[in-house]
Amino acid sequence: MNKILVIDLGGTSAKCAVFADNKAMLLEFKVKTEITNILPNLKAVISEQLTGNGMLWTEISAIGFALPGFLDDKTGVVTLASNLGWKDFPIRQEAEALFQKQIFIINDANAAALGEFWNKTDQTIHSLALYTLGTGIGGGLILNDQLWTGATGYAGEFGHGGNFQNEFPCSCGLEHCIEPLSSATGLTKLINRKARTEPNSSLGKLAHRLRHSLGLGNIKSLLENHDQETIAVLEKGLEPLAQHIATLIYVINPALIILAGGVTNLGPELLTIITNLVHRVTGKFLWKTFDLKISALQDKAGMYGAAYFAFKNLNLL
Ligand SMILES: [Zn+2]
């Protein structure tokens, strides 16, 4: 049985796991990200975990890294990962020297898309798109069973570009991206603006009762009770996302569209809102051509994807 160690590295912690080639997750643990000493600290903690669980480094065929930010998988260099403090960092070379293993690197949102692809239950699916709806918006695309990274590796940046909204400017420097409105950050701004400007609305009353500004987790019960005011606020925030999804459906005709990230904790009611919004801007003949659903793997998808990426590159699957 071949085994891959995966490290899904984020600014605060790294999600680590050991996978077998039959997709079994044999071991899973988290390591705090020590910004000034990221790789050596990872190696020390991982070594402890392996030893503590009766595993040896010699059992690990290779290491798959899922990384935030822009990276060049041909040269193995992280061009920019601001929350890790890395700029033009030769991660593959550094990690190979330190771990003495073959290293595979992949963008974390792309890894999540691959993870969902590896885990899909319907084997007739050969194309899918993944949207991560967290503090920002990222994505990944699988076309013809392959990860599509584009001409220069930037494919799947669903959060940016275009003219989808006029509400909030984007941190990328553009004005009308979907990210500043349809992300958790944007939706949270909208619900609090409603609560503040309309104290007699259901959101206003909720904020008054809780005595603090609202998070998305606070509005779940309003949604479950089909509160129309709350649904209307979410529709405003999610409309740019729905327009983006509709455009993607016309452009690539994906069989499956998966939504992941913090926003999707709002559950089935959120899915209903997004589905209805997508239907409003998509021809009826296309409604049955795609399945739109919330990720079951959620924040584990990146680990599955990094493992699949390494196994595939080693021709072990
Ligand atoms: Zn942007």
Q: Which of 55, 7, 58 is nearest to 32 (CA)?
A: 7
Dist CA 172 CA 8 (whole Å): 24
How confident is the model over 266-287, as a mean pLDDT?
A: 98
**Poorest-pLDDT segment among 33-37, 66-70, 208-212:** 66-70
| Nearest residue to 266 (alpha-carbon basis) of 311, 243, 233 | 233
How confident is the model over 142-169, as a mean pLDDT? 93
% the chain with pLDDT above 90: 93
> Which DSSP string corresponds to 229-256?
HHHHHHHHHHHHHHHHHHHHHHHH--SE
| Ligand 1 midpoint to CA 90 (Å) | 26
Centre of ligand 1 to C-alpha 134, Å, is 14
Distance separating alpha carbons of residues 219 and 217, to the nearest angstrom: 6
pTM of the model: 0.91
Domain ranges in the chain?
Answer: 3-107, 120-296
Cα 172 to averaged position of ligand 1 atoms, centre (Å): 4
pLDDT in tens, 172-210: 899 999 999 999 999 999 999 999 999 999 999 999 999
| CA 261 to ligand 1 center in whole angstroms | 18
pLDDT of res. 13: 96
C-alpha 194 – ligand 1 centre gap (Å):
24
Question: Is the pLDDT assigned to residue 91 strictly greater than 90?
Answer: yes
Structure confidence at residue 29 (pLDDT): 98
Q: Name the CATH architecture for the domain at 120-296.
A: 2-Layer Sandwich (3.30)
Task: Write the CATH number of the domain with boundaries 3-107.
Answer: 3.30.420.40
Find the 32 Cα to ligand 1 centroid distance in Å: 29
pLDDT tens-digit profile of 280-315?
A: 999 999 999 999 999 999 999 999 999 999 999 999
User: Could you tell me the distance, in angstroms and rounded to a whole number, from the CA of residue 52 to the centre of ligand 1?
Assistant: 44
Q: If you search the block for the tokens 């996302």, which residue do you land on? A: 241
Mean pLDDT of 4-33: 97
Does 154 have pLDDT greater than 90? Answer: no
- Residue 315: predicted pLDDT: 95
pLDDT at 83: 85
Using 50, 70 and 90 to split pLDDT, how confident is the model at 152?
Answer: confident
**Cα of 153 from ligand 1 centre, angstroms:** 17
CA of 125 relative to ligand 1 center, distance in Å: 30
Distance 170 CA to ligand 1 centre (A): 5
Q: How far is the CA of 217 from the centre of ligand 1 (A)?
A: 25
User: Quick one: pLDDT at residue 72?
Assistant: 85
> Cα(274) to centroid of ligand 1, in Å?
21
Does 73 score more than 80 pLDDT?
Answer: no
Q: Produce one character per residue of 279-312: b if its CB has 16 or more CB atoms within 10 Å, e if not.
A: eeebeeeeeeebebebbebebbbbbbbbbbbbbb
Whole-number average pLDDT of the chain: 96
| Å from CA of 216 to ligand 1 middle | 22
259 in Cβ contact with 292 (< 8 Å):
yes
- CA of 139 from ligand 1 middle (Å) equals 13
Give the pLDDT mean for 7-34. 96
Cβ neighbours for 317, distance < 8 A, ≥ 6 positions apart: 21, 308, 311
Q: What is the pLDDT of residue 238?
A: 98
Token pair in block for residue 126: 């050969």
Model confidence pLDDT, tens digit, residues 202-240: 999 999 999 999 999 999 999 999 999 999 999 999 999
Average pLDDT over every residue of 160-168: 97
Centre of ligand 1 to C-alpha 79, Å, is 18
Across the chain, how many H-helices and E-strands are there? Answer: 10, 13
- The pLDDT score that the predictor gives to residue 151 is 85
Query: Hey, do 3-107 and 120-296 end up sharing a CATH topology, with the first three levels equal?
Result: yes
pLDDT, position 74: 84
